[in-house]
Structure 1
Amino acid sequence: MTALISPTAVDPLAPVVATLAQMGLRHGKESLQGLSTGLLTHTPGWRSAGEMLTPGGVREWLAAAATRWDAQPHAAAALAWKCYSYWLALPAVIGFTGSRRVPLMTPDHVLVRFSDRQPFLTLALRRPVTAVLATDPIVATETHGLLIVEDEDELLGVMRRSLVDAHLDPMLDEVRKQARLGRRTLWGSVASGVAYAISRGYVAPAPTVLSTAHRVLSALGADDLVDLSEREGGGLDIKRRTCCLAFTLPTPKVCSTCCIRP
């Protein structure tokens, strides 16, 4: 791994944004409603994701979730976590599958907005750093904001350290302190969210989509929390091994991936 290198006008996130845009065309604008357009923002009204890792930040966020879903605290926390972890992971996962460019979703690079209405949550990036392979043509342009790695295994390792070790793990610990939820329940939402992102956002032959999903989930330590199979017509059939508790809402919902579906 090398250090960051110096500036030019080339945008390392361009293929990631393009892949997300194609996903939006296929699945509708709601499939991107939790991400700022183009991933970046320079407008006021956002908070650093670092605030979300504090007791006060999590408390405010969970209170908004309880109002948004009119849910008991543990169910609101489970749904808030499911939402946050999906939108946080989506750019990194799509970046890896589509172009082998992974934006680092560490708290210092992520901005957050949330409310007690729909959409509950929106994420954006600031001063992004993108991990790329040493063979990526962008390396020759000396573009600012690159983290160069030698191979795909190292790229997945960078994804795990930035997404999981630096962001989701400490946030999960704080959520568990404030809500009566087990790690497995919460991590199951990460697994299903990653699988869902790959199923919707990665256009490739079904066996390739399936093997890539297992590879990414394994790198993130979540491959044992979902059952995956190829879907006729493209994408994946996903079945969770844990529940996000949406069935406990005043108007119960049973997700398409839920382990309690008949």
Structure 2
Amino acid sequence: MIPLPALSEHLRELAGERGGVLGVLPGLVADDSPGWIPVPELTREPYGPLLALVDETAERWSAPRHVAAALLWKTYTYWHTLPMVLGWALERRVPLMRLAGTLVRPSDAGVTIAAATGSAVTVAVLPGDPLAGTPGTVIVPGLASAVRDALLDGQHPLIRALCTQTRLGERTLWGSTAEAIAHPLLPLVPRDDVTRLLAEMGPPVDGLLVPDGDGYRRRTCCLWITLPDADPCSTCCVR
């Protein structure tokens, strides 16, 4: 966990960058405005809402459909995974972003993820946590396995749907999830802690990142490099 003085300074800087807002930005709070899609709808045949998001991504980047699907997933998994991994790093309390309670809509960031209105987000805590047993918490023996189970519940159905419709391999998409776990954590915790978290989580994310200098390199490609005039990502397996 981050030492409290460093965390306080980090939070002050963050609030300054966000116009004084510390917490959930207004645009991330689900309301009754049109455009929010319950994520379970993306996993149901004939996959109309999911393919609409893929097509929108394809138009944005002038990309083939399978590349657009990979880029859509890279954006989606980053925002979906972020609350869980930051909760793990900052407080050792993990909000479980499960499929049934998650919403998505297109945005300037690609997609925006939110918890469904009226949906209580369960927070996984360890047995010794002062909040253990309070409403909205679930006591787990290990937070890494809790993150893994939430990812399998919240992402695997989407990954299967994308792969079915675009002929992508699941390993390619799980590689983006592995990076979504590691990328926001490296400024907060030592790389060995990130490696240990992925190892404790196990398949399908363990082993998809390898140490490289002070950071890591992916074993899979997000397919960004296939776009015309695109430079490889700093973590790309394509050198």
When residues 216 and 170 of structure 1 are mapped into structure 2, their CA distance, relative to the original with a 3 A threshold, is same
Relative to 1, partners in 2 of residues 1:50 and 1:99: Cα closer, same or farther, differing over 3 Å? same
Contact 2:84 2:94 in 1 (8 A): yes
Q: Which runs of 5+ in 2 are unaligned?
A: 1-6
The correspondence for 1:57, drawn from 49, 57, 71, is 49
Pick one of 144, 148, 166 that aligns with 1:160: 148
Which residue in 2 is equivalent to 1:22?
11
TM-score (norm 2): 0.81
Q: Identity of counterpart residues, as a percentage?
A: 36
| Deviation larger for 100-109 or 40-49 | 40-49
- Cα distance in 2 between the residues matched to 1:23 and 1:197: 18
Residues 226 and 241, structure 1, Cα contact 8 Å, conserved in 2: yes
1:214 aligns with 2:204: no
CA distance in 1, matches of 2:104, 2:11: 23
Q: 1:87 aligns with which of 79, 82, 106?
A: 79
1:56-95 deviations in Å (ceiling 9; x for gaps): 2321221111112111111111111111111111111111
Q: Conserved in 1, the CA contact under 8 Å of 2:99 and 2:155?
A: no
Q: Do structure 1's residue 187 and structure 2's residue 184 form an aligned pair?
A: no
Q: What TM-score comes out, normalization by structure 1 length?
A: 0.74
Q: Which amino acid aligns with 1:214?
A: T
Which residue of structure 1 aligns with residue 211 of structure 2?
Answer: 228
Query: CA 1:226 to 1:177, structure 2 compared with 1: closer, same or farther past 3 Å?
Result: same
Is the 8 Å Cα contact of residues 36 and 122 (structure 1) preserved in structure 2?
no
| SS, match of residue 128 in structure 2 | coil
| Letter matched to residue 240 of structure 1 | R
Shift of 1:247: 1.5
Matches within 5 A, 1:114-125: 114-115=106-107, 118-125=108-115
Distance 1:133 1:224 in 2: 26
Q: Deviations over 1:108-158 (max 9, x none)?
A: 22121115xx22111112321111112111237x3x311122x3x2x2222
**In structure 2, C-alpha distance between the alignment counterparts of 1:134 and 1:23, rounded to whole Å:** 31
Match in the other structure for 2:224: 246
What's 2:128 paired with?
A: 135
What is the deviation of 1:230?
A: 6.1
Q: Which residue of 2 aligns with 1:15?
A: none
In 1, the alpha carbon distance for the partners of 2:81 and 2:129 equals 22
Query: For this pair of structures, how many residues does the alignment match?
Result: 219
Partners in 2 of 1:120 and 1:161 — Cα distance? 25
Deviation of residue 242 (structure 1)? 1.4
CA distance in 2, matches of 1:241, 1:44: 40
Helix, strand or coil for the counterpart of 1:199? coil
Report deviation, 1:24.
7.3
- Residues 41-56 of structure 1 correspond to what in structure 2 (within 5 A)? 41-45=30-34, 46-54=36-44, 55-56=47-48
